[in-house]
Structure 1
Amino acid sequence: MLKFLRSPTTIIVLLAGIAGMTLVLYAWRLPPFHSSVEMTENAYVRGYVTIMSPQLSGYVADVPVHDYETVKAGQLLVKIDDRIYAQKLAQAEATLAGQKAALANSYQQELSATAGIAASEAQLDSAKAAFNRARATWDRIRPLADKGVSTRSDADQARAGFEQANAAVNQAEAGLQVSKQALATTLGARAGLQAAVTGAEAAVELARIDLENTRIVAPRDGRLGEIGARIGQYVTAGSQLLALVPNDVWVVANFKETQLDGMKAGQPVTIEVDALQKSELMGHIERFSPAAGSEFSVIRADNATGNFTKVAQRVGVRIVVDPGQPLAEMLTPGLSVVVSVDKNAPVRTMPAQATNRAVPVAARG
């Protein structure tokens, strides 16, 4: 037996067997290689990719930016020919001016109607005074005419003057009512004129918005993708012209459900970036996905029929890259990374919206 163990071949085979068993134990994280560090290569850099599209149709007049250029918020990206929209704005402003003039004329008509009422009231007062005078004359002459003291001609003249004065009073009262109705008509029509002015103002604002929309500007700081717009190209509302990628990035790591036990929001994370020669960045867990990735699939698997093979599901974990790291500025959405989480590491203080408890799948019955 000792001679057998002294054989070089036997020693090599034993060492190879021990090495293979050690690798298997290490790969499967079995004792004595059990570790609190969980790692996954199913992790990628994510970011907001905004597709810039026009809200109106027209010909592209200018594209002052280039592929992959860094832009600032408010910087012009694409300009659409604005001549038609400028004329529409001028037309709307002219309509608004006409409606405002009509409304101002309504106020002037109100003043005229008010003055007309005052004139009608004065005319009525004058007619009543003339009526009172004519009635007094008739009251004096009528007894005399009955007694034959006054001539028939004077009596007829006094009676005619009385009736004429009475008719003048009725006419003045009717004129006063006409003046009051004219004022009521003016005030009643004003509501329609004010509504017309409001509608014209809205039309001007819409035309101004359309004119402003001929300038497609960057909504925030970031970098551009490939520019799809070309000068002279006719575009319609919703056409995809270019993509803007803001500077905010994060990492989404898809851990297996068996790795989640003990993970908490706020735990530090090591991020190894393939594109940066395996350079490491530091981050921390922000939050966990509310469901496994299979639940968000368009075509979900139905495990209620046929044979069943248990497959470990993956849950997305959002990871924030810690600020103040120079290499973090080189991260772009879509890059592959390797994420490592030490579940025994202390938890950082997290904002109110980030949960600090273990994910639900960690609580097993």
Structure 2
Amino acid sequence: MNTPQPADAPTAAAAPRRWPWLLAVALVALGLGLFWWMNRGHTSTDDAYIQANITMIAPRISGTVVRVPVTDNQRVEAGALLFELDPADHEARLRQVSADLAAAEARVQVARAELDMTRTRAPAALAQAAAAVRSARARAEKAAADERRYEALFAKDQIPRQVLEQARSSHLALQAEAEGVQAGLRGAQTLAQQIAAQEAALASAEAAVAQAQAARDQAALQLRYCRVTAPVAGRVTRKNVLPGSQVQMGTPVLALVGDQPWVVANFKETQLEDLRVGQPVEIEVDAYPGRHFSGRVDSLQAGTGSAFSLLPPENASGNFVKVVQRVPVKLVFDPAPDPALHLAPGMSVIPRVDLREQGGARLAEAPP
């Protein structure tokens, strides 16, 4: 009679032990399939960061800080006072140039009055001088005729020499008077040149007024620069100013981070083929786990990240190893996040772009 083989018992006992492994493989395959199913039509990258407009604030004049009403990380509205410089020197300068302007305006009034007076007096003075010339000439001519008549009478011994000498003296006096009046007429005829000179003096005085006005405006502008206000709404960061500090013109002393952040996602160049402008984006911010933000694809940077680095790669010499480049893509929040949320530049995010919407233009073809 045949007896059973002892080796068959271990083989039959090992079969049940394979089920856990098969089950694990099946679960892994199911998970991978589920992951593929949920991520099909999407692309993502973890090389993405929040960006925002950063406005560096620097005084437009040098001076001593007397007041700083803001604190670090405080949110301010556009036009809010950030700090104030000592205005004493600029107030004194404004008073000085205002006095200079008043003096220049007074000189203009004097020059204008003299010009008006000369213009009014010139015709009458010229007519009076011409009439005086005519009168003097007539008297001189009459005296010359009397002299000739007395000479004829003296030649006939009808008058004494004394009368003749008186006639000659009268003729010479009236002739000299006529020449003096003629000189006065020539002086009156120069009134046109005098008016032109006074007009030039008035123009010079008016130019001095304009110069003084510009100096006063500049002084008023310098005084207004003592109050440094926020050009845009945002949060105060990198504040390096205190009351009593000496600040220099053009040297930044604080920064304002804007309230409208966006995301710069550095996608691989192999991921750009299916990206379109306007595609919806789901954004996860590492600082707010479990919270999702909505956005859309906006634009593509005209150059890879390495092309704008401090030391761009030089691939024209030596051995070359091809490396997949990353291209910054701008993603905008839609709708805009609550300004109360602290979405600061540099925060890490993970954007997930829905590639199934293909209605927009390709990033490479997007209008500027």
Would you say same fold, with TM above 0.5?
A: yes
Aligned residue type for 1:169: V
Contact between 2:133 and 2:182, CA under 8 Å: does it hold in 1?
no
Aligned pair count reads 350
Of 251-260 and 319-328, more deviation after overlay is shown by 319-328
- Is 1:56 equivalent to 2:64 in the alignment? no
Deviations 1:287-323 (A, max 9, x none): 1111111111110111223332221111111111112
Per the alignment, residue 281 of structure 2 pairs with 269
- Runs (5+) with no aligned partner, structure 1: 349-355
Match of 1:240 among 237, 241, 252: 252
Per the alignment, residue 7 of structure 1 pairs with 15
Per the alignment, residue 352 of structure 1 pairs with none
Per the alignment, residue 302 of structure 1 pairs with 314
Per the alignment, residue 7 of structure 2 pairs with none
Per the alignment, residue 194 of structure 1 pairs with 206
SS of the equivalent of 1:278 reads coil
Q: Distance in 1 between matches of 2:365 and 2:12?
A: 56
Within a 5 Å distance, the mapping from 1:1-365 to structure 2 comes to 7-8=15-16, 10-12=18-20, 35-138=40-143, 140-148=145-153, 151-323=163-335, 326=338, 329-347=341-359, 356-359=361-364
Question: Cα RMSD (Å) of the superposition?
Answer: 3.1
Contact between 1:55 and 1:213, CA under 8 Å: does it hold in 2?
yes
Q: Distance in 2 between matches of 1:326 and 1:218?
A: 20
Deviations 1:227-262 (A, max 9, x none): 321111111113332221221111111110000002
Aligned residue type for 1:147: A
TM-score for both structures, normalised by structure 1:
0.84
Contact between 1:137 and 1:158, CA under 8 Å: does it hold in 2?
no
Q: Distance in 2 between matches of 1:225 and 1:283?
A: 26
Aligned residue type for 2:106: A
Aligned residue type for 2:15: S
SS of the equivalent of 1:41 reads coil
Per the alignment, residue 6 of structure 2 pairs with none
Structure 2 vs 1, CA of residues 34 and 332 (structure 1 numbering), >3 Å: closer, same or farther?
A: closer
Aligned residue type for 2:273: D
Contact between 2:57 and 2:254, CA under 8 Å: does it hold in 1?
yes
Contact between 1:287 and 1:317, CA under 8 Å: does it hold in 2?
yes
Deviations 1:325-344 (A, max 9, x none): 55884433222111011222
Of 60-69 and 18-27, more deviation after overlay is shown by 18-27
Q: CA deviation at 1:22?
A: 8.0
Q: CA deviation at 1:87?
A: 0.6
Contact between 1:123 and 1:172, CA under 8 Å: does it hold in 2?
no
TM-score for both structures, normalised by structure 2:
0.84
Q: CA deviation at 1:119?
A: 4.9
Structure 2 vs 1, CA of residues 94 and 70 (structure 1 numbering), >3 Å: closer, same or farther?
A: same
Q: Distance in 1 between matches of 2:77 and 2:38?
A: 50
- Runs (5+) with no aligned partner, structure 2: 1-10
Aligned residue type for 1:70: R
Contact between 2:283 and 2:352, CA under 8 Å: does it hold in 1?
yes
SS of the equivalent of 1:7 reads helix
SS of the equivalent of 1:187 reads helix
Give the structure with higher Rg (CA): 2
Q: Distance in 2 between matches of 1:292 and 1:162?
A: 104
